Homo-oligomer: A and B are copies of this chain.
């Protein structure tokens, strides 16, 4: 037996212990973030995982790395669903928009932590950034297609998805046990209001109309 295998093999007690701690921290963080959002105190996470705060920081040097461990799979799923919606919009534009918006709002309202992540992308994390960039590119294609098909009002814009996300975050954090029911109703109202209608809307916030969407659109065009 080499010396290496005795310290790094998966069966090593030390390694198994570290992995157990890591898993306990991720599960505890998932529960705490779901309760209080991603800004929750990290010592609450450590307490719930029954480890010291020093152990938490040894496994996860900053808050972002813990957020990423908790929500990575959900973010990947989010990006994949956006991609599927963009595809579906080719043949069934309204159904594609409806299904995408309904799904993302349900996921958000079921988990305030996830609502935070979707509303405020982490700039520090490369994995998250990739998912976010993919989701952004797909939703731009989705909105271009539903607009081209004429199933939404002409002044509907991509930024309205962000508007919806932030509004839903308000329910997710403020409506307590009623969050999911309230979100379903908000979703139905907003989808109704996206349909073609003559009265013009106030413009989207100037800051939203610029920046990331324009950049992402330029990338798609290349």
Query: For window 189-222 of chain A, which residues contact chain B by CB distance below 8 Å?
Result: 189-190, 192-194, 197, 199, 201-208
Interface residues of A in 94-123 (CB under 8 A from B): 119-120
- If over half of A's interface residues share one DSSP class (helix, strand or loop), that class is named, otherwise mixed; here it is helix
A174: chain B residues at CB < 8 Å are 119-120, 166, 169-170
Chain A interface residue bracket vs B: 35 or more
Give which listed residue, B172, B188, B201, contacts A189 with CB less than 8 A.
B201
- Assess whether A185 is in contact with B166, with CB atoms less than 8 Å apart: no
Q: Is A140 on the interface with B (CB-CB < 8 A)?
A: no
Whether the pair A202, B190 counts as a contact (CB closer than 8 A) is: no
Among B169, B193, B206, the residue within 8 A (CB) of A193 is B193
Q: How far, in Å, is A213 (CB) from chain B's closest CB?
A: 14
A205 near B189: Cβ-Cβ < 8 Å: no
Note all chain B residues with C-beta closer than 8 A to A201: 185, 188-189
A163 CA to B181 CA, complexed, in Å: 10
Q: Does A76 contact B (CB under 8 A)?
A: no
Question: Taking A167-B168, A171-B167 as contacts, is the C-beta distance between A192 and B202 under 8 angstroms?
Answer: no
Question: Within 8 Å of chain B (Cβ to Cβ): is A173?
Answer: yes
B170 and A185 contact, CB distance less than 8 A: no
| The one of B160, B188, B192, B205 that contacts A178, using a Cβ cutoff of 8 Å | B205
7 closest A-B pairs by CB: A170-B170, A178-B205, A193-B193, A167-B167, A181-B205, A189-B193, A169-B170
Q: A163-B186, A166-B170 given; name 13 further pairs at CB < 8 Å.
A: A119-B170, A119-B174, A120-B174, A163-B189, A169-B173, A178-B208, A181-B203, A181-B204, A181-B206, A184-B202, A185-B204, A190-B193, A192-B192
